[in-house]
Structures are given as C-alpha cells and as structure tokens.
Amino acid sequence: DAKTTQPPSMDCAEGRAANLPCNHSTISGNEYVYWYRQIHSQGPQYIIHGLKNNETNEMASLIITEDRKSSTLILPHATLRDTAVYYCIVRARDDKIIFGKGTRLHILP
Amino acid sequence: GAVVSQHPSRVICKSGTSVKIECRSLDFQATTMFWYRQFPKQSLMLMATSNEGSKATYEQGVEKDKFLINHASLTLSTLTVTSAHPEDSSFYICSARESDSGVSGNTIYFGEGSWLTVV
C-alpha cells in the first residue's frame, strides 16, 4: 500500500501558485519524499525530492514540515501544461516506488 | 534529469503472439529497473523489479512465465509479453534507478511508456 495520502483532485487558476499537499505520517527516518507527475498518456516525470530540508529546483519547491509527517509541492506559476496527476511518494534509497492514486491537478484558464 | 527510453512506443500484435518492449537508460547506468502496467484511469501497478545479471523479482499475482524480463546490461532491460491476449492490452512503463548517486537518494526515472494492443 502507498504510504501517502493526497487529495484526489485540485483546481488552480493559471498563473497562480499551485500548492499540492501530501500526508506521510508514518515516514521513517531514512525515507525520502519524492514527487512525480504524469501527464496524460506519458510516463511519470520526476519533479523533486527531499529528506528533511526544503528544496527548490527549476520546476517546483518542496516544503517538508519539521516533523516530516507532511509536505507540500509548490508550482510557483501554474500553466495549462501543468495539468497532470501528481504523485507524492515516500521511499528509502534502494526501495521501489509504489504508486497511490495521486492528485489530479486541473489548471483553469 | 536522466533519460530513460522505451521502444516501441506503440505496438499492435495478434492474440497468441509474443511482443518485446525495450527499456534503456541513455545517460546513466542502472543496476535496477522496474516494470509497471497501467490500465485506463488507474494508477501504475508495479509488475516486477529487474536486477542486472540476475533474475527478476515479480510482484504478487504477476505471472513470471507470461511476462519475461531480461536485464542483460547496465543500460537495457526487456519485457516480453508471451502468448499475448486482448486482456494484456495496456500501457507498460519502465523505470530505472540511478546507481551510486551519492547522498541524494538514488532517484528513479521513468520511460515514456509503451502502448500494447492485442487484437
């Protein structure tokens, strides 16, 4: 079973920041938080990952709470091309990925 | 990010025949690759873990004699669907784990996926 809980769907206006929450209350100390997204009919795309500290790259920012039990993926300026299913994954370094149902993000024009 | 390539992207085969899907890591070595299957409007389901030079590990309920996996090199894994039936029609996706990526958690990258239609 997936170790994370995400809302099934969210809407965000184009140009605004999209904040996608994820709960992972049973995360272990050696497990990372990963985010992927899947645009229709494509393979999942890696977005970002982190262990304890907040992370930022050219695609997004990842905010992890101090107790590590939840995190938020932030897409700073959402575009229509960001419409996708977003998956929050918790895994240790050598673990496989087990997908949950993710959050279906709709970007509204 | 690292690139994983699958081929073919789409394939149609006749019922009873076998079809092979290739998964290549283009710019990194991958001792471990994973194969997933995805039906419409569902999430990805892990089928098996493929380790270079050894037998694949299959998830519960996946028939190893039907879905043959070979991982002969650090950059190539293949999935062969044997004696395909229409119910095997699906989106098959591979992924590869970067080896020795230091402190950063061994990120897994996914291929573009392969659509299989069995007629």
Tell me the per-residue pLDDT of B28-47, one tens digit each, with 9 for 90 and over. Answer: 888 899 999 999 989 999 99
Q: Do B105 and A32 touch (CB under 8 A)?
A: yes
Residue from B48, B87, B91 nearest B71 by CA: B48
Q: Do A94 and B106 touch (CB under 8 A)?
A: yes
The pLDDT assigned to B100 comes to: 62
The pLDDT assigned to A86 comes to: 98
The pLDDT assigned to B104 comes to: 53
Element (H, E) at B73: strand B67-73
The pLDDT assigned to A50 comes to: 94
Main-chain dihedrals φ then ψ at residue B117, nearest 5 degrees: -120, 125
Mean pLDDT of the region B8-25: 97
The pLDDT assigned to B62 comes to: 96
Q: B23, B43, B69: which to substitute to probe chain A, counting the most A Cβ within 10 Å?
A: B43
Least CB–CB distance from B43: residue in A41, A94, A100: A100
Separation CA A67–CA A59 (nearest Å): 25
The pLDDT assigned to B54 comes to: 87
CB < 8 Å to A46, chain B: 1, 107-110
Q: How far is C-alpha B80 from the chain's CA centre?
A: 9
Separation CA B12–CA B14 (nearest Å): 7
Residue B94: burial class (beta carbons within 10 Å; 0-12, 13-18, 19+): buried
The pLDDT assigned to B66 comes to: 96
Least CB–CB distance from B106: residue in A43, A93, A99: A93
